[in-house]
Structure 1
Amino acid sequence: MRLSLASIAIACVAEAQAFSDSSPFILFSTAEFSAPSENAQLQTRASVLRSVTDILSSCPTDRYLLASQPGAHAVDIRDEQSSCSMPNLCRAIASERVHGRYGVAEVVTSSGAEHDGNPQVAGFQSLADSIQSACQSRGKSVGVDEVKLAPLSGSVDSVKRRETRANNDYELGKFLDALDGDYTVILYSEPSGPLVYEPSFQEPVHMDLKRQLDPLVLRSRADSLPDNRPLFEKYQFFTPGIFMALIVAAVMLSILGVGLKAVASLQVSYGAFDKEMGPAAQKKQL
C-alpha cells in the first residue's frame, strides 16, 4: 500500500513522457495537507508553484529540504517498466512517517505565466524565500536546507546518466536519513535539454546503394581475374553424394570379404570326388 501511494505521489508514470523538455516535481511531508485542486500530471511551472505555495503557506513543518536535480525527467525516477530508478527517494516517500504527498510528472515552462508580475511564480528557486516569509509571518523559526545534485546529461540509457543518477540518489538518501522530527522535502528540476533515447541496436545499420550491373559484364570481370585460392578451397572434393557412396561401398566390400573368407575356409578331402569301383558301387547300380 505504501509503495502504491508513493508511486501516485511521485506521479512519474511511463505514459506521461510525451514532453521531453519537461521535468518532474515531488513534494512529501510528515504533515497532512489537503491535495491541490489541480492534480493533472501535465502542468505549467506557474501552476505547480501556486499549488505548492498554498500548501506551504501554513508552514506545516519545522524543517525543509529543497533538492534540485538539474536535467531530470520523469523517466529518471520511474522508468518504462514502472520500477523505481531512485530507491532511496522512493523509500523515503513510502515511509510511514509521511502523511502528505504531492507530485506532478510533467512540469513545463510557460513563458506567459512566469512573466505575469507575480513574484511567487518566478521559479522553483524562490521556494526557500517563500517558506521563510510564510513561517516568519506566523512567528516560527524553521530550517531550510538546499541541496543541488549533479546534473544529468546524455541519453536516457547511457551508462554515465545511470551512474550520475545512482550517485545523486545515494547523496540524497544521506540527507533524507538525517531528517528527524517533522519535515517537508521538495524535489524539483530544471531540464537542461530534450531527452535523447539511444536506439535499441548496438551498431548502426548502414544501407548501401547497390547498382544493378549487366550479368555479362560481371561474368567477364570474374573471368578476367586470376583465382589464386588453394586447391581445397577452390574445389569441393567431398559432396554428400560422394560421401554416401563411399560408405555404401565400404559396407559392400566388407560383406564381400566375409563371403570370400567363408568360401576359402571350406575343407574337402581329395577322395570325395573319386568314383567307387568296389562291390558296394555295383549293388547301388542294381
Structure 2
Amino acid sequence: MRLSRFSLLALGAATASAFTDTSPFFLASTSEILSTSSQLKTAPSLLKDLSLKLSSCPSDYYVIASQPGVHSTDFLTRKSAPRLGAKMTGKDKAIRSTQTVNEVFGVLEAKEIRSIIEKECGAQTTVIDGASGSYPSDLGAEPRVLFIDFPVLPLGKERAQQLSANDGLLSDILERIPSSKKYTVLYVTSPRELEESDSAIYQSEADPYQDPVHMDLKRNYAAHGRRAEPASNKSLFQEYQYLTPGLFMGLMASFIFLAILYVGLSALASLQVPYAAFEKDTAASVQKKQQ
C-alpha cells in the first residue's frame, strides 16, 4: 500500500491519542537528504539533527514555514494541507527526501533553523508575512531563505480554512522557485496554548445541567478562580499535629533500645577477673619433681 493512501500524519501510526503539548514537523526537499521519520522526538534533538543535515547546504532555496498554535490532529485529514501532503506522501515526483515527526516535544524555534542556514550557507533571508498573503515576485538570488511567518490558527470552523489557505500560500511560493533550482521545505510548528485548548473544549454555556465531571475540570483549569481564605487565628500547634502516633512509637522504641544497650554495657563493665587467674601454677609441678 502506497503512502499516498494515508493522511499526512498517518504515515506510521495513529495519532488520535497524541500528546496535547506537542506539534508536528515536516521536511520535504528536492535534494538528497538522509533523513528518517519518527513518531516522537524532542525539540533539542531535532534541532541538532537538522543542523547536521543543513550544514552541508544541500539546496539553493530553503523555505521555512513557521505555523504556531497547531497540533498533530489538525493534519489528520487530507483537506488540512493537501499540497504539503502531496509532497510528503510521494505524489510530487520532484521531492526526493522527506521527514515527518508526528510529535515534537517542546518548542522548535524556526528562527534558530534560519540562523543555522544563514551561518553555514551564507544565505540571505526574505521574510514573508503569512497574514497578508503577499510576497515579492523576485525571490532573490540563491542561497536564499524564504521565511514565512504564519499567524496563530483561530479556533472553531475557521481553523481548517485558515490552515488550508496557508497551505495554498506555501504552494504558490514554491511554484515561484525555478525548476532548475533545488529547494528544501521545513514546516515548523508549535503546540497550542493550554488556554486555547481549554476554551475550545469547555465552552461557556448557560446550561445549569452540565456534566459534573466537565464542571470539575473546568473549575480546576480556570485561572484566578480561587477565593482568598480568611487568615486563621489558631496557633501553629493548633493548626498542625507535630507528635504523630508513628513518631511517638519510634521514640518509645528508641528509648527501650537505649535502655537495653545501657544494661548490657553496664554488665560487661562490672565483670572483675583477679590477676592470679592469668598466672601459671608452679606448685604442682615442683611437688611432682620431688616425688
Q: Give the alignment's TM-score, normalised by structure 1.
A: 0.56
Corresponding residue for 1:130?
116
Q: Pairwise CA RMSD of aligned residues? A: 3.2
Structure 1 residue 54: Cα displacement? 1.5
Aligned equivalents of 1:50, 1:6: Cα separation in 2: 28
Q: 2:97 aligns with which of 95, 100, 111?
A: 100
Which amino acid in 2 is paired with 1:64?
Answer: Y
Structure 1 residue 172: Cα displacement? 1.8
Residues 112-151 of structure 1 mapped to structure 2, 5 A cutoff: 123-136=109-122, 142-151=143-152
Q: 2:81 aligns with which of 78, 83, 86?
A: 86
Distance change (3 Å), C-alpha of 1:127 and 1:207: closer
Corresponding residue for 1:25?
25
Structure 1 residue 192: Cα displacement? 3.5
Aligned equivalents of 1:185, 1:123: Cα separation in 2: 15
Corresponding residue for 2:45?
47
Where in structure 2 are there 5+ consecutive unaligned residues?
124-140, 212-291
Corresponding residue for 1:247?
none
Corresponding residue for 2:187?
187
Structure 1 residue 193: Cα displacement? 1.0
Structure 1 residue 153: Cα displacement? 3.1
* Aligned-partner SS, 1:171: helix
Aligned equivalents of 2:51, 2:117: Cα separation in 1: 8
Structure 1 residue 16: Cα displacement? 5.8
Aligned equivalents of 2:85, 2:189: Cα separation in 1: 17
Structure 1 residue 45: Cα displacement? 0.4
8 Å CA contact 2:24–2:71 kept in 1: the answer is: yes
Which amino acid in 2 is paired with 1:26?
Answer: F
Which amino acid in 2 is paired with 1:134?
Answer: E
Equivalenced residues, count = 184
Structure 1 residue 185: Cα displacement? 0.4
Which amino acid in 2 is paired with 1:124?
Answer: A
Distance change (3 Å), C-alpha of 1:204 and 1:174: farther
Residues 212-227 of structure 1 mapped to structure 2, 5 A cutoff: none
Q: 1:166 aligns with which of 164, 176, 188?
A: 164
8 Å CA contact 1:65–1:186 kept in 2: the answer is: yes
Distance change (3 Å), C-alpha of 1:160 and 1:13: farther
Structure 1 residue 12: Cα displacement? 8.3
8 Å CA contact 1:66–1:146 kept in 2: the answer is: yes
Aligned equivalents of 2:154, 2:14: Cα separation in 1: 20
8 Å CA contact 1:27–1:101 kept in 2: the answer is: yes
Which amino acid in 2 is paired with 1:189?
Answer: T
Counting aligned pairs with the same residue, the percent is 28
Larger radius of gyration: 1
Aligned equivalents of 1:54, 1:129: Cα separation in 2: 13
Q: 2:209 aligns with which of 203, 206, 210?
A: 206
Structure 1 residue 166: Cα displacement? 2.2
Q: Deviations over 1:188-241 (max 9, x none)?
A: 112241445659xx9979369xxxxxxxxxxxxxxxxxxxxxxxxxxxxxxxxx
Structure 1 residue 7: Cα displacement? 4.3
Distance change (3 Å), C-alpha of 1:2 and 1:182: farther
Structure 1 residue 134: Cα displacement? 1.8
8 Å CA contact 1:44–1:109 kept in 2: the answer is: yes
Distance change (3 Å), C-alpha of 1:42 and 1:66: same
Aligned equivalents of 1:206, 1:5: Cα separation in 2: 41
8 Å CA contact 2:72–2:102 kept in 1: the answer is: yes
Q: 1:58 aligns with which of 56, 65, 90?
A: 56
Q: Deviations over 1:108-150 (max 9, x none)?
A: 118xxxxxxxxxxx8331111111222249xx95111100112
* Aligned-partner SS, 1:41: strand
Structure 1 residue 179: Cα displacement? 2.5
8 Å CA contact 1:45–1:109 kept in 2: the answer is: yes
8 Å CA contact 2:15–2:72 kept in 1: the answer is: no
Aligned equivalents of 2:188, 2:210: Cα separation in 1: 43
* Aligned-partner SS, 1:35: coil
Residues 228-267 of structure 1 mapped to structure 2, 5 A cutoff: none
Which amino acid in 1 is paired with 2:41?
Answer: Q
